[in-house]
Amino acid sequence: MPIENSKASEIKRLATPLTFKNSKAYDSEGNVIKCIETINDVRYIIEPREGILTEDEILQYAPKSKAASKIRLKRGLGNNNDVLLVHESLPWILGIFYMILICIAVPVFFSGNRLVMLLLLVLFIVPLIYLYRIFNLNAYQNTAKRRFIPKSKRKETVVQEEPVVEDIGVESLKRYEKKVNNLKVVFEVKEEVVRDLIEKRFAPPQLTYDKFINIVDSAHKLFYRQADAASSIINLAAEDTPRVQDEIESKISSMNTIIDQIERLTNELVINISNETGASEDVANLLDDMENLIDSVKDY
């Protein structure tokens, strides 16, 4: 139980928007969040604590973190942005290094000392080789492939390919259960956050507070209606067919859409609270969007 509570509290910390005060960013527990600055981006990222979440959970709840970038690169799924985030200080270090190197090289070039010039050339090339190595995405992919190939198959010189037969039947639908359960956890965390923000921004009793809470209540009912429907299909379907898969994926898609709307509402409320103004037009429009979403999905 303590482990689960720790995990739930960590997920909530990652899902709760940052607060800004005196040009500093803080997470929900009041910890200062470091500013991450790369060549093409400047942002504040909440990093997951070690030993609490699994790699898959980090990718789900903290996809923009440095830890998630390391996981994607390890699995051969990363890109150059992940490399830049993992090595965030490298561009600035290399910039300073080459500036110093150029300052040294100019007088050496005019002095004609070939031995020193050769040494400077080597120093100039070595960082470029290192850059090629860390930005070579194919190397990450090849490493990931080797990691997941069983040792017994690595020794085989001839591999006879056999057709892959997928499981057919109820058991093959169980792969959707994890998706549904993970989405439930995400929704629970985000719902708690948005309710806290609504109460903070529009202290009850207020008509505006009631309208916001009613929308969140409707989203809650709609979300779990879709989740229950997906679970019923997973557990009661007699066979795994394209139509059954489409129905389950449709329910999961609706759950994702509701979560996205709750997150949008959360972000608007955070901005609204920081501006210390009345309900903004953006928030009002978002409420209309959520009402339309609920009307369009609830009878599906």
Q: What pLDDT does residue 167 have?
A: 41
What is the model's pLDDT at position 287? Answer: 67
Classify residue 116 by burial, with Cβ atoms within 10 Å: 0-12, 13-18, 19+: middle
State yes or no: cis peptide before 205, omega within 30 of 0: yes
Distance CA 101, CA 112 (A): 16
pLDDT given at position 228: 92
- pLDDT value at residue 7: 75
E-only strand ranges, the chain: 19-21, 24-26, 32-33, 35-37, 42-44
Q: pLDDT tens string for the chain (300 positions)? A: 444 557 777 887 887 777 777 778 888 788 888 877 766 667 788 888 888 888 888 887 788 888 888 888 888 888 888 888 888 888 888 889 889 988 988 888 888 788 888 888 888 898 888 888 888 877 777 776 666 555 444 444 444 444 444 444 467 788 888 888 888 888 888 888 888 888 887 776 666 778 888 888 888 998 999 999 999 988 888 788 888 889 999 999 999 989 888 888 888 777 777 665 545 556 666 667 677 766 666 554
Q: In the prediction, which pLDDT does 281 show?
A: 59
Query: Which two three-digit tokens encode residue 145?
Result: 């492939």
Per-residue pLDDT at 266: 83
Hey, is 76 helix, strand or coil? coil
- pLDDT, tens digit, 9 for 90 and up, residues 262-294: 888 888 777 777 665 545 556 666 667 677 766
How many CB atoms lie under 10 A from the CB of residue 292?
10
pLDDT of the residue at 270: 77
